[in-house]
């Protein structure tokens, strides 16, 4: 298999995951608020897709990295933009990292409420006070999505 054939196979597989597997799970309510996030790899320059959960409140949207620095976080920081896809909705959006723990705490709390029971990588439970989520903010990068790119 040549490099071009492998790349096409890889993209076809990612498309199948994004278009066939994720939407039924989202519609069934098993993975609420799930979008496919596409970033361009910093080293490879190839598009990479990742399922992500968005927190939406008052017309604003945030992405939360659930367990520390993952590939899409590094790619998003480097590019400053991401592509979000869900049910035919395709958007290229700018991002702003939320560095203030007080600002990130309510977003993290909403994220944990949306995604269900506490995960091992979250020390705070959904019903915990915001002060506990401020301590979590350093371990879970939070990005605000900005309309229309940077």
Q: Scanning the structure block, which residue is given the tokens 């979008």?
A: 35
User: pLDDT by residue for the chain (150 residues), tens digit each?
Assistant: 676 666 666 656 666 666 666 555 554 445 555 677 888 777 778 887 777 888 888 888 888 887 655 777 887 888 888 888 877 778 888 899 999 999 999 998 888 887 776 677 788 888 889 998 898 888 888 889 998 755
Residue 116, number of CB atoms within 10 A of its CB = 11
> How is the chain split into domains, by residue range?
3-146
Q: 3-146 has which CATH code?
A: 2.30.110.10
- CA angle in degrees (0–180, nearest 5) for 18-41-104: 75
Query: Exposure pattern of 9-42 as b/e (b: 16+ CB <10 Å)?
Result: eeeeebeeebeeebbeebeeeebebbbbbbbbee
Rounded Cα distance between 105 and 140, Å, is 10
Rounded Cα distance between 150 and 148, Å, is 7
Instruction: Report the predicted TM-score, pTM, of the whole model to 2 decimal places.
Output: 0.70
């Amino acid at each position: 298999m040549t490099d071009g054939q492998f790349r096409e196979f890889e993209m076809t597989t990612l498309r199948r995951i994004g278009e066939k597997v994720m939407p039924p799970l989202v519609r069934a309510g098993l993975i609420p608020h799930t979008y496919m996030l596409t970033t361009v790899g910093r080293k490879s320059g190839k598009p990479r897709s990742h399922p992500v959960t968005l927190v939406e409140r008052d017309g604003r949207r945030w992405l939360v990295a659930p367990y520390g620095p993952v590939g899409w976080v590094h790619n998003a920081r480097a590019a400053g933009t991401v592509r979000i896809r869900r049910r035919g909705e395709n958007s290229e959006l700018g991002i702003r990292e939320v560095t203030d723990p007080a600002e990130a705490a309510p977003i993290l709390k909403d994220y944990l409420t949306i995604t269900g029971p506490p995960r091992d990588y979250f020390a705070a439970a959904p019903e915990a006070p915001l002060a506990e989520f401020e301590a979590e903010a350093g371990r879970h990068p939070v990005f605000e999505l900005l309309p229309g790119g940077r």
